[in-house]
Chain A
Amino acid sequence: MKKKMSLAPAFFVGPHIILFLVFILLPTIYGIYASFTKWNLMSDPTWVGLDNYRTILFDSSSTFHTQFTNGLKNTLLFVLFTVPILIVLPLLIAVSLEHKKVKGKGLIQAILYVPGLISISAGALIWLLLFNKQLGFVGNLFNSDVSWPANQPYAWIIIIVITVWGGVGGNLIIYRASISGVAQDLYESASIDGAGPIRRFASITLPSIRFPLIYTFVMTTAGAFNVFGQPLMMTDGGPRQSTHVLMMYIRQLAFGNGESIAGMASAMAVLLGIVILIISALQYYVMNRNAA
């Protein structure tokens, strides 16, 4: 009887532990190990110590160094351009939707949410046509005769537009759910005390939804650092690699044409991972402290 009791948990949690070991723990450890090696994905990796990191970070004559700094710069730009919009815009929408007199809330929310369910490759085909200078609206409505994906700042603009279009819905739903959870009498007593809408928003709504705000801020930022599909589909990294993000270089080095340079790519991946970890921790720390 006792033996049977001790085997049952292994049956329930065991299968997932095996999956976890094979598809999360093992590749993570191997990814860190591979960053210290020369590896072409096929033969066994050869240990090279810190060479990859030295090349990427300090050897300014190396293309890997140029790729890494350019990729990281463009990834950071993407984060800076999109994350604030992906936090503020859904928040504004959620507040507007709270207005008692506004009708059709469900429909509005559904319309804004739907692009989040569209894959980047399908969405990009449509948006590229809209941004096409001959066939889309930019040429016909704005009289613009430059090719948007091939010129700055338009290349960034179309990447930001499709990202915001697809990304607003998720955070919007989180904010709406949290705002509707704020006690109504707080607002009522504030109104009686004469607080205007902006005042009420700043001193009641924002503090009350502190946790969802921290959560969405950290998650949206971490997601933005992994950006890949939008620049790949919209601009293919152009013009002159000015929208070529780090994930695109990592994929190119490890899985592109020619021999795989997976060791170097792994080192870039580890560095990107470290950046994400540091930024997430900073965000959490700063926001939690300020809010307390």
Chain B
Amino acid sequence: MSNQVAEQVSKSPLINNSKVKKGSNISISKYISYLFLVILCVIWIVPVVFGITTSFRSQTEVVSSGFRLFPKEWIFENYVTILENTSTAPILRWLVNSLYIASVHTFLVVVVISITGYGYSRMNFKGRDTLFFTLMGISFFPGVVNLIPSYKIIDSLGWVNSAWAMIIPGLAGMGNIFLVRQFMRGIPKDLDESAHVDGAGHFRIYWSIIMPLVRPVLIVCALFSFTGSWNDFLWPVIVFTDVDKMPVTAGLLLLQDIYGNYRMIGQLMGSAILAIIPTLVIFLFAQKYFTQSINLNSGIKG
């Protein structure tokens, strides 16, 4: 195939001045790439900047001055108002709820996936792989089917309007366990065998030999669990009706009624921005883990 290409090109009359041509091609494609990327970045970042700056503008300015990216006058009253609202839209309460739910969920995810992953990769018992792949197979079934009964189960456990409704069900998933198991299988067996000889039990080996080695995967899983739990929308909208108990994503759904149909725009934007900040801060500090995660994925798939 490449011979054909070469043949075609060598017949081309342009081949002699290809040097000149090629140089200008590279710079043209470079500028096109740049233009494309810069335009996208502007479109992508304008909403975030606009949301932030609007949260510092007064209602009269927003309404009278039309679309502007930056305020004429920066004010902080919007934030004072939303933080002082503790009844109809208790944003601080919602943020604390979200933080509690996402943190406890993330901690338990790490515990469950590392212990379970250890069991499926470093222990030998009858039917281990059959069991694992059976569970994997079942988990591929579309989740929409178990949505309604899940609510019924949560209700029977008395967890409607409780943080547990968001903390526990997600621990049953198989995706992260698959990832951790895959990673643990890559660790040489002699490590735990020599520890076994020295008299160490499984828990000891799990904790002091395997855990330190799989830390990177666990960090990645933890970050995605945290942001996933923080941003979850459908499930909290279903299991929370109590305004004081709900996480911030479900709370924001109520805001348009509370702050009117854009009667209090600064407050609306301020609330949205407060809900965004935690995941953005995490991304800022752990960016490399977010982008690394895919190397783990592609390692498996490729």
Q: Which residues in chain B, 146-205, are within 8 Å of chain A measured between CB atoms?
A: 146-153, 155, 168-169, 171-174, 177, 201-202
Given contacts A8-B123, A13-B119, A262-B148, contact A194 B142 (CB under 8 A): no
Given contacts A120-B233, A247-B144, contact A254 B153 (CB under 8 A): no
Q: Would A126 and B151 count as touching, CB distance under 8 A? A: no
Q: Would B47 and A165 count as touching, CB distance under 8 A? A: yes
Q: Which residues in chain A, 1-40, are within 8 Å of chain B measured between CB atoms?
A: 6, 8-9, 12-13, 15-17, 19-20, 22-28, 30-32, 34
Q: Would B253 and A233 count as touching, CB distance under 8 A? A: yes
- 9-residue interface stretch from A46-54, A62-70, A221-229: A221-229
Q: Which residues of B contact A9 (CB under 8 A)?
A: 119, 123, 125, 128
Q: Which residues of A contact B250 (CB under 8 A)?
A: 121
Q: Is residue B20 within 8 Å, beta carbon to beta carbon, of the partner chain?
A: no
In chain B, what residue has the closest Cβ to A162? B47
Q: Is residue A80 within 8 Å, beta carbon to beta carbon, of the partner chain?
A: no
Q: Which residues of A contact B148 (CB under 8 A)?
A: 27, 31, 34, 41, 250, 254, 262, 265-266, 269
Interface digits, B4-33 against A, CB 8 Å rule (1 contact, 0 not)? 011011100000000000000011011001
Q: Would A97 and B37 count as touching, CB distance under 8 A? A: yes
Task: Determine how close the nearest CB of chain B comes to the CB of A108; give it in whole angstroms.
Answer: 5
Q: Would B149 and A174 count as touching, CB distance under 8 A? A: no
Interface digits, B254-289 against A, CB 8 Å rule (1 contact, 0 not)? 011000001001001101110110011011000100
Complex-state Cα separation, A212 to B300, whole angstroms: 10
In chain B, what residue has the closest Cβ to A20? B172
Q: Is residue A183 within 8 Å, beta carbon to beta carbon, of the partner chain?
A: no
Q: Is residue B58 within 8 Å, beta carbon to beta carbon, of the partner chain?
A: no
Q: Would B47 and A96 count as touching, CB distance under 8 A? A: no
Q: Would A16 and B116 count as touching, CB distance under 8 A? A: yes
Q: Which residues in chain B, 100-128, are within 8 Å of chain A measured between CB atoms?
A: 112, 115-116, 118-120, 123, 125, 128
Which residue of the partner chain, among B34, B138, B145, B253, contacts A273 with CB atoms under 8 Å? B145
In chain A, what residue has the closest Cβ to B63? A135
Which residue of the partner chain, among B29, B50, B112, contacts A130 with CB atoms under 8 Å? B50
Q: Would B30 and A101 count as touching, CB distance under 8 A? A: yes
Q: Which residues in chain A, 242-292, are within 8 Å of chain B measured between CB atoms?
A: 247, 250-251, 254-255, 262, 265-266, 269-270, 272-273, 276-277
* 3 A-B pairs with the lowest CB-CB distances in the bound complex, closest first: A194-B9, A12-B119, A27-B146
Name 8 interchain pairs, CB-CB below 8 A, sorted by A. Answer: A6-B125, A17-B135, A20-B139, A28-B149, A96-B33, A117-B231, A262-B148, A269-B145
